[in-house]
Amino acid sequence: MAYRLALLSSMMLLLAVAANAGGIAIYWGQNGGEGTLVETCSTGNYDFVNLAFLATFGNGQPPMINLAGHCDPYSNGCTNLTTDIKSCQAKGIKVMLTIGGAAGSYYLTSAADAKQVATYLWNNFLGGKSSTRPLGEAVLDGIDFDIEGGTTQHWDDLARYLSEYSSQGKKVYLTAAPQCPFPDAYIGTALKTGLFDYVWVQFYNNPPCQYSGGINSLEDAWKQWTAEIPATKIFLGLPASPAAAGSGYIPVGDLTSKVLPAIKSSAKYGGVMLWDKYHDDQSGYSSSIKSHV
């Protein structure tokens, strides 16, 4: 009897751990030396791949995708990615289009402008139809908001318009990469809508709330994000190597022994986001942490 109880309790523990097992989200697209999209998805390390970036849109500008050395959108060269995207999705990986970035030309002037951008995204990257789809016929899983400039207005409108397209069949996932100081300066209002499924908070390049040997400031920020943002899951966003960001890199040993044990008990814990695939290739970070996430 005691043996059966011990077996049962160990099984319950395993189930609890499995239930809170997280995934890894990776950014791909800003370095031609990071391998192809299909190679990225074939590593088995990632649950989400964010294609970075649609860096120009809004305010009447012709939208333009920038995937660095991977393909030339001006000659329709990125349509070849359709096969890779479908291959990733066949493995159960969600492939998102990231809009914005640290060095883009994007701006929303009004709710009407937000609606126009949403229509463009639906027709050109999601379930709609257009003769000029930059990535070809593949239907992406959703839109990732990495808004680090431009305006603080109308991102909530864009989220609402995009989420309305979920009623037309395939769900449109919404994700975001805010900075860890709370609330985020640009998309704080949008995140309060409750329309975002996954939020990967950037705990780097932000000394007040990132890890710096001690865990207190990161843990306090984590608790605020998980308590106040109505998202399905919150992810810990990190640089994949010391060179991937100005600050905020967490050595593997510190992440697995100190940081993850402190945040994984949260019901909203979703896993770890890494910037980016190129730096992950150099460091092997995702392979080193995967079994602990």
Q: In this structure, what token pair is assigned to residue 102?
A: 């640290």
Q: Is 148 known to be catalytic?
A: yes
Contact assessment for residue 272 and residue 240, using Cβ atoms and an 8 Å cutoff: no
CA distance 137 to 82: 6
* Cα 191 from Cα 176, distance rounded (Å): 8
Rounded to an integer, what distance in angstroms lies between the CA atom of residue 47 and that of residue 190? Answer: 24
Whose tokens are 């011990």? That residue is 6
* Amino acid at site 85: I
Strand ranges (E), the chain: 23-28, 48-57, 64-65, 94-101, 105-106, 142-147, 173-176, 198-202, 233-239, 269-275
Look at residue 13 and give its three-state secondary structure: helix
Find the catalytic residue in 39, 148, 219, 228.
148
> How far is 24 from 220, CA to CA, in rounded Å?
22
Burial of 45 (0-12, 13-18, 19+ CB in 10 A): buried
Q: Which residues are catalytic?
A: 148
